[in-house]
Amino acid sequence: MTGHATIAESLREEGYRLTPQRMMILAIIYDSEGHLSAEEIHQRVRQQYPFVDISTVYRTLNLLKKLRFITETDLGDECVRYELVDKGRHHHLICRQCGASFALEHELLAPLAPRLLEKYGFAADLDHFAIFGLCQQCRPEGPALAAKKGQQHGDA
Amino acid sequence: MTGHATIAESLREEGYRLTPQRMMILAIIYDSEGHLSAEEIHQRVRQQYPFVDISTVYRTLNLLKKLRFITETDLGDECVRYELVDKGRHHHLICRQCGASFALEHELLAPLAPRLLEKYGFAADLDHFAIFGLCQQCRPEGPALAAKKGQQHGDA
DNA sequence: ATGCATGCAAATTGTTTGCACTTCA
DNA sequence: TGAAGTGCAAACAATTTGCATGCAT
């Protein structure tokens, strides 16, 4: 049985029902390489099954999140993404100017967790991280102060 | 002139008007040790000046954010906090179970920035960070898997 | 058959915006 | 004076919830 079916099975073992909606949502998250928003998941589900409601998507996502089958990454700015926990740990570098997003391997952050544990007794979830900043193209004037000169009065 | 007045001055120098509302919002953020939500700021402003509208608070916060006088920290779960940039760099350890929040000195994260810069050409904003996980009291069963056994069906 | 899960619609929350009026510079 | 800033109300988007019906177990 393929990946998402395994999770589906676990779902049932936990005492939850295995509905077509849940299967499809699971499959979509499983198949997608990247990080999907609730809206995107809803769109894709509807391509196969036009009657699925967005509330069902949210309910399912919340369930999967609660059971820790998926992670929720809040990229800020009303941009929440979901993906499977076992997709390998990686993080996101997000440019605050152009919005571009880059992957960051786990290695750089890995040393952090044990230190937090020993120093603060805090077991950090370092599965997913969103780090903001300026990407190479958006910092023409060096790492510091690159953003001080925003637009003029007109609100961003 | 005291701290917030300095910023107020800079505001004017940038060509913005110095209104009582802006002064008060600035003063409140300045005085507060911690991290305030837009709603909290609004509450406090109203104690002195009951007619200030929440939209003015948001507009002012967005302005101050754009000028980089304050930082916005998105703690996820619809919980956005604001504070002065020069309050010293520190980060937050937030327990996903009990919601408690602990401060984390900058030192642990400091080495990250230069590495991100050299490896990815990415100038990270490491002023403020929110790291989720389980605090000491909420992980009775060791650092791993401590959360797998959530509540039963009833939603969280 | 039983009750969890769904669809639908309405409610909620956080945030933004249009517009006429006020006020700082 | 005149544009920037404000208050108000309405618009908005994302997410949640109540309720009657439907379907997995």
Query: What average pLDDT does chain A have?
Result: 79
Q: Test B132 with A109 for CB contact under 8 angstroms.
A: no
Mean pLDDT of A65-93: 80
Provide the strand spans (E) within B19-61. Answer: none
Per-residue CA distances from B19 to A121, B8, B49, B54 (Å): 46, 9, 13, 15
Question: Is the shortest CB-to-strand distance from B51 to strand D under 7 Å?
Answer: yes
User: Is residue A96 predicted with pLDDT exceeding 80?
Assistant: no
Give residue B141's pLDDT. 58
Question: Per-residue confidence at B31, pLDDT binned at 50, 70, 90?
Answer: confident
**Contact criterion met (CB below 8 Å) for A134 and A142:** no
Q: How far is CA A78 from the centre of its chain?
A: 12
Mean pLDDT of A21-50: 89
CA of A155 to C1' of C16 (A): 11
Amino acid whose CA is nearest the C1' of C8:
A53
CA of A51 to C1' of C8 (A): 11
Closest among A45, A30, A35 to A80, alpha carbons compared: A35
CA of B95 to C1' of C5 (A): 31
Least confident of A7-21, A106-120, B24-38: A106-120
Nucleotide nearest to B38 (CA to C1'): C14
Provide the strand spans (E) within B22-100. Answer: 70-74, 80-84, 90-95
What is the sign of the dihedral through the CA atoms of B36, B38, B43 and B46?
positive
A6 CB neighbour count, 10 Å cutoff: 14
Question: Is the shortest CB-to-strand distance from B38 to strand C under 7 Å?
Answer: yes
Query: Which nucleotides in chain C lie less than 7 Å from some protein C-beta?
Result: 4-10, 13-18, 23-25
Q: Which of left, alpha, beta for B76 (phi over 0: left; psi -120 to 50: alpha)? A: left
Give residue B3's pLDDT. 67
B45 CB neighbour count, 10 Å cutoff: 23
DSSP one-letter string for chain A = --HHHHHHHHHHHTT----HHHHHHHHHHHH-SS-B-HHHHHHHHHHH-TT--HHHHHHHHHHHHHTTSEEEEE-SSS-EEEEETTS--EEEEEETTT--EEEEEGGGTTTHHHHHHHHH--EE--S--EEEEE-GGG-TT-SSSTTSS---SS--
Least confident of A26-35, B42-51, B120-129: B120-129
Give residue A141's pLDDT. 57
CA of A45 to C1' of C4 (A): 21
Question: Is the shortest CB-to-strand distance from B6 to strand D under 7 Å?
Answer: no
Best mutation target, B17, B72, B95, B131, to test chain A (most A CBs within 10 A) = B131
Which residue of A67, A123, A131 is in closest CB contact with B143? A123
Question: Is the shortest CB-to-strand distance from A54 to strand D under 7 Å?
Answer: yes
Question: Is the shortest CB-to-strand distance from B8 to strand C under 7 Å?
Answer: no
Mean pLDDT of A114-119: 83
Closest among B33, B32, B26 to B7, alpha carbons compared: B26
| Residue that wins the pLDDT comparison between B137 and B38 | B38
Spell out which residues of chain A touch residue B99, defining contact as CB-CB under 8 Å: none
Question: Per-residue confidence at A152, pLDDT binned at 50, 70, 90?
Answer: very low
Give residue A147's pLDDT. 37
Question: Per-residue confidence at A154, pLDDT binned at 50, 70, 90?
Answer: very low
Q: Does A149 touch chain B (CB under 8 A)?
A: no
Domains recognised in chain B with CATH numbers: 1-86 (1.10.10.10), 88-156 (3.30.1490.190)
User: Is residue B156 predicted with pLDDT exceeding 80?
Assistant: no
Which residue of B59, B62, B124 is in closest CB contact with A131? B124
| pLDDT tens, position by position, A7-31 | 888 999 899 999 999 999 999 998 8
> Residues of chain A with pLDDT > 90: what percent?
26
Which residue of B74, B123, B132 is in closest CB contact with A134? B123
Query: What average pLDDT does chain B have?
Result: 79
Mean pLDDT of B67-93: 79
